Amino acid sequence: MKKYLLFPLFLGICFTLSAQDMSESDKDAFFIKDIFSTALTEGQGNDWLMYLTKEIGGRLSGSPGAAAAVEYTRQMLDTLGMDRVWLQPCEVPHWVRGEKEVCRMVSERMGSVELACLALGNSIGTGPGGVSGEVVPAMSLDEAEELGKAGKLKGKIVFYNRPFDQTRISTFAAYGGAVDQRVYGPTMAAKYGAIGAVVRSMTNKTDDVPHTGSTVYRDGHECPAVAISTKAADLLTEALKHEKVKVFFKTDSKNLENKISYNVIGEIKGSEKPDEIILVSGHLDSWDVGTGAHDDGAGCVHAMDVIYILKKLNYKPKRTIRCVLYMNEENGGAGAYAYRDSSDLKKEFHMAAIESDRGGFTPRGFTVEGDDSIFEEKFKLLIKWMPLLEAYDLSIKPGGSGADVSKLKGQKGLLFGFLPDSQRYFDYHHTAVDAPDVVNKRELQLGAGAITALVYLLDKYGLEY
Amino acid sequence: MKKYLLFPLFLGICFTLSAQDMSESDKDAFFIKDIFSTALTEGQGNDWLMYLTKEIGGRLSGSPGAAAAVEYTRQMLDTLGMDRVWLQPCEVPHWVRGEKEVCRMVSERMGSVELACLALGNSIGTGPGGVSGEVVPAMSLDEAEELGKAGKLKGKIVFYNRPFDQTRISTFAAYGGAVDQRVYGPTMAAKYGAIGAVVRSMTNKTDDVPHTGSTVYRDGHECPAVAISTKAADLLTEALKHEKVKVFFKTDSKNLENKISYNVIGEIKGSEKPDEIILVSGHLDSWDVGTGAHDDGAGCVHAMDVIYILKKLNYKPKRTIRCVLYMNEENGGAGAYAYRDSSDLKKEFHMAAIESDRGGFTPRGFTVEGDDSIFEEKFKLLIKWMPLLEAYDLSIKPGGSGADVSKLKGQKGLLFGFLPDSQRYFDYHHTAVDAPDVVNKRELQLGAGAITALVYLLDKYGLEY
């Protein structure tokens, strides 16, 4: 009689079991163990990520890097033996940083001090002369609006300086509590006559690395804007305690004409229920500084590795498994809209859509959301097989999915966000240091294993109630 | 009526609660939130660790670094307002590496190739002439013994080359499955007449960083021994496929006379049950290469931060809280034996002893063990308040505690090992790259928060059944 070794969990406890004794859940446990072992020993994600980051580099929408990433990942998907691989066009903005930014604070007491800075994505440039003005600090949009209404921002440079709340265990929660300053701070400043905005970088860390990211102008209120490092922000804060301070900064950024770019898509057709789609995804574009290793090279190679691992294990899905590498998550979401519109038009049904866009760190589980009309019932269906993931210290909890897949909410499937450990993510997010050396190979591989395990369970058990 | 904000968990869901509605469990939840907030915003661990690593550096037993670490941490504990701080003497081995090692493989086909290496701790040196011999590969101690019995090791250099099992999710499990080669490989080789041993480094990573660590000679069977990097081991493996290969290596290590060193201890006397001790600990000594940042500077500052945080929150423990920074965990355990012997002599009772010696990474929980006669009953007592830790994604599971506190098992308390994420630990363990830059401040702080929360719950609820 053939003997199986039940997969050794956390404590290394093993025992044996004959084949006919095996329950469905034991079979699942074995297959999930195979998934993780394949991810850890044969996964291709790290190699793909090295190419994306070291050979291609930054991949901002409209850039040659983005185009190279589209072609490279299309070729890689082509090698995986999927039923179909294609490019889906979308029209993307084409913002360019131009010449390296300069930012300097000038005070009588301290003289002129350089501040490490990056122009914000989508922001207009200052022109070659730069902008110079007195600094008005504001800890929130509300405070800026009050100052604006009192006429105190006219001709000034607004300094948004509210730091991350370090007591939030999830750094994404801390980011969520601060990022409104970057997104809507500059337009608020411009609305009340400010000539520029300086934003404290979105990070937990105190260092000299500035973090870029999108800003959004509303109602035509535009002014140039930079993020400065947290150390620079602390220095500026200190200087403002003693005297009036001016800031000079110069940015060369501009929005060029829109470009055509692509989502890269591949699929394995389901053998029994091909109309129920399970989507795995990351986004191909990244900021221009750094090489988008965690954001979101990691997510792309996670999604690609799901396909690789399932193929390697010779798994024939009942449902259609589709891998989507979205374009333009960072500054517009054009890829996600194009995908959603096309999918809705074809009356497709995404039973589940999984996004990996929180980095390539050790997996902790998934957050999941869905349309109110279906969420509670469908969530209950996950509970029966959740212990299979909990054996790997992975949980599934209600929460947001991601900027790309959340656009599919109208199709009334479940939308998952892969949730890795969050502590280091904002050390690198949108910076020059989001580079291949800060990704740990095993942590990345475990992420691919976790997502593949979820796909397997969703495919096997479906979401019918 | 005063309102409290119930601590926002994972999903940021908040609601309010009046003071008199608060259950004991709500009060605990609030206090644990305060513990984590204090750890994340005021914890001193990172500063202490920077001093231990950057100013003091390597701290091998008997070295000036170890002596400096004893004095520094004694001074730091003195600042924390404990009831008593003292040094506990212990006699430690004094092994020194001497001049930098050299290891070279020599073959007809490839010529002479340098292999990155480190002498193993406790190993004897080769003398100035080094050793040179034909390489005999062995994948296990058993294989080496078989070869030895067949007379095939005489005058040879044994190459232990079994890699980590990459499919083990816990890297400690992978380490446990390979480290016998380093500990007992050289003495096995010597027993059968080998003149040296070369051991593949104990790591998941393929790189050029050699990992030192203790070897143990038995029954007087001694030969010089080095660890080589995994890349070097792979190169040697490749060469051996084609031809006979010789290795030359030279080490200058020796065991000098034993020294007197110290455990550093501080305690807060319990207000109600001073005879029930809750111990928190790490080990002060480290290997001489690198600066012992994760191993085990992190554990020391975790233990010290527990005291700092409880004091900061003005917590008056019912039981005695004792912080022990052990000496000589790495190559002998003299500190742990001295502590245990003294404690047994005084008929002390360690109700719980917690060791942090798995690095300063994001906490996942604790493993716990105890004498068979009490374990099951006492473990059950933890279950009632475990959800308070689970709210922070921390679990408590049966498993080993640690090399130092496990020696207290005879006192029949519970022995805990702090369990952080394990994926990166063996990238750094016992190497020159276990340095301050590979410790993430927030991950370290969360560890201190997790251990403090456990201490609080143990102190409040005790372990009586």
The predicted structure's pLDDT at residue A21: 64
Phi and psi at A181, nearest 5°, equal -65, -40
Q: Do A399 and B40 touch (CB under 8 A)?
A: no
The predicted structure's pLDDT at residue B4: 36
Cβ burial of A461 (10 Å; 0-12, 13-18, 19+) is middle
Q: Do A166 and B41 touch (CB under 8 A)?
A: yes
Q: Is the predicted pLDDT of residue B206 greater than 80, yes or no?
A: yes
Cβ-based neighbour number of residue A313 at 10 Å: 15
Pick B10's closest partner by Cβ from A170, A176, A392. A170
Chain B residue whose CA is closest to A364: B393
Strands A117-119, A102-107: parallel, antiparallel or unpaired by DSSP? unpaired
The mean pLDDT value for B450-455 works out to 98
Distance from CA of A374 to the nearest CA of B (A): 20
Chain B residues in contact with A205 (beta carbon < 8 A): 441
Q: Do B10 and A397 touch (CB under 8 A)?
A: yes
Q: Is the predicted pLDDT of residue A7 greater than 60, yes or no?
A: no
- What pLDDT digit, counting tens, does each position of A28-71 carry? 999 999 999 999 999 999 999 999 999 999 999 999 999 999 99
What is the Cα–Cα distance from B210 to B232, expressed in whole angstroms? Answer: 9
Distance from CA of B48 to the nearest CA of A (A): 17
Q: Do B362 and A41 touch (CB under 8 A)?
A: no
Q: Do B167 and A36 touch (CB under 8 A)?
A: yes
Strands A414-420, B414-420: parallel, antiparallel or unpaired by DSSP? unpaired
Residues in Cβ contact with B325 at an 8 Å cutoff, skipping those fewer than 6 apart: B73, B263, B264, B265, B281, B282, B283, B284, B300, B303, B304
Q: Do B424 and A441 touch (CB under 8 A)?
A: no
Helix (H) or strand (E) holding B25: helix B24-42
Chain B residue whose CA is closest to A395: B393
- What pLDDT digit, counting tens, does each position of A224-281 carry? 999 999 999 999 999 999 999 999 999 999 999 999 999 999 999 999 999 999 999 9
Of residues A333 and A9, the one with the higher pLDDT is A333
The mean pLDDT value for B77-103 works out to 98
**Helix-helix angle A64-78:A298-312, to 10 degrees:** 10
The predicted structure's pLDDT at residue B348: 98
Chain A residues in contact with B427 (beta carbon < 8 A): 440
Residues in Cβ contact with A142 at an 8 Å cutoff, skipping those fewer than 6 apart: none
Yes or no: say if A205 and A233 are a contact pair by the CB < 8 Å rule: no
**Helix-helix angle A180-191:A141-149, to 10 degrees:** 10
Chain A residues in contact with B424 (beta carbon < 8 A): 440, 442-443
User: Complex ipTM, two decimals?
Assistant: 0.93
The predicted structure's pLDDT at residue A64: 98
Strands A111-114, A117-119: parallel, antiparallel or unpaired by DSSP? unpaired
Pick B421's closest partner by Cβ from A12, A41, A362. A362
Q: Is the predicted pLDDT of residue A5 greater than 90, yes or no?
A: no
- The percent of residues above 90 in pLDDT, for chain B, comes to 95
The predicted structure's pLDDT at residue B192: 98
Chain B residues in contact with A443 (beta carbon < 8 A): 423-424
The mean pLDDT value for A14-22 works out to 52
Cβ-based neighbour number of residue A98 at 10 Å: 12
The predicted structure's pLDDT at residue B465: 79
Q: Do B166 and A443 touch (CB under 8 A)?
A: no
**pTM recorded for the entire structure:** 0.94
Chain A residues in contact with B8 (beta carbon < 8 A): 168, 173
Pick B362's closest partner by Cβ from A10, A167, A421. A421
Q: Is the predicted pLDDT of residue B12 greater than 60, yes or no?
A: no
Strands A117-119, A319-326: parallel, antiparallel or unpaired by DSSP? unpaired
Pick A10's closest partner by Cβ from B36, B167, B170. B170
Distance from CA of A245 to the nearest CA of B (A): 29
Token digits of residue A92: 């993307």
Pick B40's closest partner by Cβ from A166, A367, A424. A166
Could you state, in order of their start, the residue ranges of all structural domains in chain B?
3-94+257-461, 98-252
DSSP string over B209-268: -----B----TT----EEEE-HHHHHHHHHHHHHS--EEEEE---EEEEEEEEEEEEEEE
The predicted structure's pLDDT at residue B21: 64
Q: Is the predicted pLDDT of residue A20 greater than 60, yes or no?
A: no
Pick B166's closest partner by Cβ from A40, A392, A423. A40
The predicted structure's pLDDT at residue B22: 81
Convert B19-46 to b/e letters by CB count within 10 Å (16 or more is b).
eeeeeeeeebbbbbbbbbbbbbeebbbb
3-class DSSP assignment, residue B317: coil
- The percent of residues above 70 in pLDDT, for chain A, comes to 95
Cβ-based neighbour number of residue A437 at 10 Å: 9
What is the 3-state secondary structure of B201-215? CCCCCCCCCCCCCEC
Any idea which fold A3-94+258-461 has? Aminopeptidase (3.40.630)
Distance from CA of A443 to the nearest CA of B (A): 6
Chain A residue whose CA is closest to B365: A393
- Top residue of A13, A33, A41, A423 to mutate, by most chain B CBs within 10 Å, is A423
Distance from CA of A457 to the nearest CA of B (A): 20
- Top residue of B396, B423, B445 to mutate, by most chain A CBs within 10 Å, is B423
* Number of A–B residue contacts, CB under 8 Å: 75
The mean pLDDT value for B234-262 works out to 98
Chain B residues in contact with A36 (beta carbon < 8 A): 167, 169
Cross-sheet strand order for the sheet of A84-96: A84-96, A254-268, A319-326, A273-283, A349-355, A414-420, A363-370, A395-398
User: A3: which strand partners?
Assistant: A18
3-class DSSP assignment, residue B450: helix
Distance from CA of B152 to the nearest CA of A (A): 33
Select from B396, B365, B392 the least CA-distant residue to B380.
Answer: B396
Yes or no: say if A199 and A189 are a contact pair by the CB < 8 Å rule: no
Interface of chain A against chain B, CB under 8 Å?
Answer: 8, 10-12, 36-37, 40-41, 166-171, 173, 176, 204-205, 362, 364, 367, 392-393, 395, 397-399, 421, 423-424, 427, 440-443, 446
Pick B442's closest partner by Cβ from A204, A364, A393. A204
- What pLDDT digit, counting tens, does each position of A303-330 carry? 999 999 999 999 999 999 999 999 999 9
- What pLDDT digit, counting tens, does each position of A159-215 carry? 999 999 999 999 999 999 999 999 999 999 999 999 999 999 999 999 999 999 999
Chain A residue whose CA is closest to B170: A10
Distance from CA of B344 to the nearest CA of A (A): 30
Distance from CA of A320 to the nearest CA of B (A): 28
Interface of chain B against chain A, CB under 8 Å?
Answer: 8, 10-12, 33, 36-37, 40-41, 166-167, 169-171, 173, 204-205, 362, 364, 392-393, 395, 397-399, 421, 423-424, 427, 440-443, 446
Q: Do B393 and A397 touch (CB under 8 A)?
A: no
Q: Do B446 and A395 touch (CB under 8 A)?
A: no
Token digits of residue B428: 């750094």
What is the 3-state secondary structure of chain A? CCEEECCCCCCCCCCEEEHHHCCHHHHHHHHHHHHHHHHHHHCCHHHHHHHHHHHHCCCCCCCHHHHHHHHHHHHHHHCCCCCEEEEEEEEEEEEECCCCCEEEEEECCCEEEECCEEECECCCCCCCCCEEEEEEEECCHHHHHHHHHCCCCCCCEEEECCCCCCCCCCHHHHHHCCCHHHHHHHHHHHHCCCCEEEEECCCCCCCCCCCCCECCCCCCCCCCEEEECHHHHHHHHHHHHHCCCEEEEECCCEEEEEEEEEEEEEEECCCCEEEEEEEEEEECCCCCCCCCHHHHHHHHHHHHHHHHHHHHCCCCCCEEEEEEEECCCCCCCHHHHHHHHHHHHCCCEEEEEEECCCCCCCEEEEEEEECHHHHHHHHHHHHCCHHHHHCCCCEEEECCCCCCHHHHHHHCCEEEEEEECCCCHHHHCCCCCCCHHHCCHHHHHHHHHHHHHHHHHHHHHCCCC
The predicted structure's pLDDT at residue A465: 79
Helix (H) or strand (E) holding B420: strand B414-420
The mean pLDDT value for B284-297 works out to 98
Strands A117-119, A414-420: parallel, antiparallel or unpaired by DSSP? unpaired
Chain B residues in contact with A170 (beta carbon < 8 A): 10, 12
Select from A226, A141, A160, A151 the least CA-distant residue to A193.
Answer: A151
- What pLDDT digit, counting tens, does each position of B406-451 carry? 999 999 999 999 999 999 999 999 999 999 999 999 999 999 999 9
Superfamily of domain B3-94+257-461: Zn peptidases (3.40.630.10)
Chain A residues in contact with B359 (beta carbon < 8 A): none
The matching CATH number, chosen from 3.50.30.30, 3.40.50.2300, 3.40.50.180, 3.30.70.20, for B98-252 is 3.50.30.30
Chain B residue whose CA is closest to A39: B167
- What pLDDT digit, counting tens, does each position of B328-367 carry? 999 999 999 999 999 999 999 999 999 999 999 999 999 9
Yes or no: say if A322 and A266 are a contact pair by the CB < 8 Å rule: yes
Residues comprising chain A, all counted: 465
Q: Do B362 and A423 touch (CB under 8 A)?
A: yes
Chain B residue whose CA is closest to A367: B11
Pick B36's closest partner by Cβ from A169, A398, A446. A169
Chain A residues in contact with B392 (beta carbon < 8 A): 169
